[in-house]
């Protein structure tokens, strides 16, 4: 029913901005692949409208073989507004593991490794280009998320075999890297995520390769999320991350990384961007690394102007509250730190 409603609404995207309005109840969805959708998916309240994968999980093996990724709801070249509903993975995203690596620990003889039974992304907006002839083409997509709950099984951190069953990203928007192209294609389009709750996923939002746009992440609440907000490789854009509550972060609260891959300058932007992280409450779990991390992997002159201001960061036994590395015009002030991290602020 959900797929049919979105498909019907997509037919009217060129002549307006249709709304798929979901009634109260639980809706079950297989993988969705939607092209050129401009409109809204609106529930009747996040406690009233719930969307779940088909019972028993989806065929992630077939999806990864066909597309390269397990993206539950993929919107290509689309402008999506999603609000007033819950995205839920009650038990497991995938019916069977789509990737695994298990080896023996040489010291203990114990089996270690990982088994992937999770989605790469729950809701993803990408600019999917076909081949290297389109390497320089920029796509246009935008994402607005408001009053959405996201819940998934908490990953088994600390177990010798890491076996996540939920999703790495709740929301993703950005370019992919077509075969034959040296760098990811760019996406132009604003991103807004606010008043949203997430638990059990790797990231609330990953925004990458966004160009000439505005990114606003505000008033969200995450619990037990690895890296709640991940900004990567965005060019000539402004990102504002503020008034979020991040509890029991298992990795990092906020990451701003102007390079999409280590030691590969082709994946790094080379122009001006601004990132401001302010007035957030960030509490790290015992295994968390740091509150706010800001990197510029270009190592040219730095291209990111970063402000980390008036955040409240706490944790026990973590490495650092704030880590900044090769960031231009960085300003860190007015933050408060609690707990027992090795460093409050580390600048390299």
Summarize pLDDT for 216-251 with one digit per residue, the tens. 999 999 998 888 888 877 888 899 999 999 998 888
Task: Calculate the average pLDDT of the chain.
Answer: 84
pLDDT at residue 261 is higher than 50:
no
Q: Are 225 and 202 in contact (CB under 8 A)?
A: yes
The pair of structure tokens assigned to 279 is 């007035």
Closest CA to 223 of 242, 252, 200, 257: 200
Write the CB contacts of 276 (distance below 8 Å, at least 6 apart in sequence): 238, 239, 240, 241, 242, 306, 307, 309
Of 116-120, 186-190, 196-200, 296-300, the one with minimum mean pLDDT is 296-300
pTM of the predicted model as reported, rounded to 2 decimal places: 0.91
pLDDT at residue 179 is higher than 70:
no
Mean pLDDT value across residues 170-184: 75
Confidence of residue 266 (pLDDT cuts 50, 70, 90): very low
Mean pLDDT value across residues 247-260: 78
pLDDT at residue 271 is higher than 70:
no
pLDDT at 263: 42
Q: Which of 15-29, 141-155, 180-194 has the highest mean pLDDT?
A: 141-155
d(CA 211, CA 273): 9
pLDDT at 137: 62
Q: Which DSSP string corresponds to 289-331? A: -EEEEEE-TT-SS--EEEEEES-EEEEES-SEEEEEES-EEEE
d(CA 129, CA 8): 24
């Amino acid at each position: 029913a959900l797929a049919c409603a979105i498909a019907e609404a997509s037919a009217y995207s060129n002549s307006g901005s249709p709304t798929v309005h979901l009634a109260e109840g639980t809706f079950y969805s297989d993988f969705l692949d939607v092209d050129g959708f401009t409109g809204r998916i609106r529930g009747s309240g996040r406690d009233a409208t719930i969307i779940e994968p088909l019972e028993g999980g989806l065929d992630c093996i077939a999806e990864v073989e066909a597309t390269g990724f397990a993206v539950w709801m993929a919107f290509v070249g689309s402008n999506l507004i999603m609000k007033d509903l819950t995205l839920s993975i009650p038990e497991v995203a995938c019916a069977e593991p789509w990737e695994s690596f298990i080896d023996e620990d040489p010291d203990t003889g114990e089996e270690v490794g990982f088994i992937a039974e999770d989605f790469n992304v729950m809701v993803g907006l990408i600019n999917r280009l076909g081949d290297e002839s389109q390497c320089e083409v920029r796509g246009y997509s935008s994402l607005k998320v408001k009053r959405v709950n996201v819940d998934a099984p908490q990953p088994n951190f600390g177990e010798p075999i890491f076996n996540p069953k939920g999703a790495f990203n709740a929301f993703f928007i950005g370019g992919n890297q077509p075969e034959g192209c040296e760098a990811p294609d760019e996406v132009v389009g604003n991103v807004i995520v606010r008043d949203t709750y997430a638990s059990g996923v790797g990231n609330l939002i990953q925004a990458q390769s966004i160009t000439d746009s505005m990114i606003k992440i505000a008033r969200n609440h995450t619990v037990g999320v690895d890296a709640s907000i991940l900004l990567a490789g965005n060019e000539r854009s402004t990102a504002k991350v503020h008034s979020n509550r991040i509890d029991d972060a298992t990795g990092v609260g906020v990451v701003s990384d102007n390079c999409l891959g280590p030691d590969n300058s082709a994946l790094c932007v080379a122009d001006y961007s601004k990132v401001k992280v302010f007035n957030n409450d960030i509490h790290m779990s015992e295994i968390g690394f740091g509150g706010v991390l800001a990197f510029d992997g270009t190592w040219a002159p730095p291209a990111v102007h970063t402000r980390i201001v008036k955040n409240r960061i706490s944790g026990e036994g973590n490495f650092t509250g704030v880590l900044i590395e090769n960031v231009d015009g960085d300003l860190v002030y007015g933050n408060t730190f609690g707990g027992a991290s090795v460093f409050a602020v580390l600048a390299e």
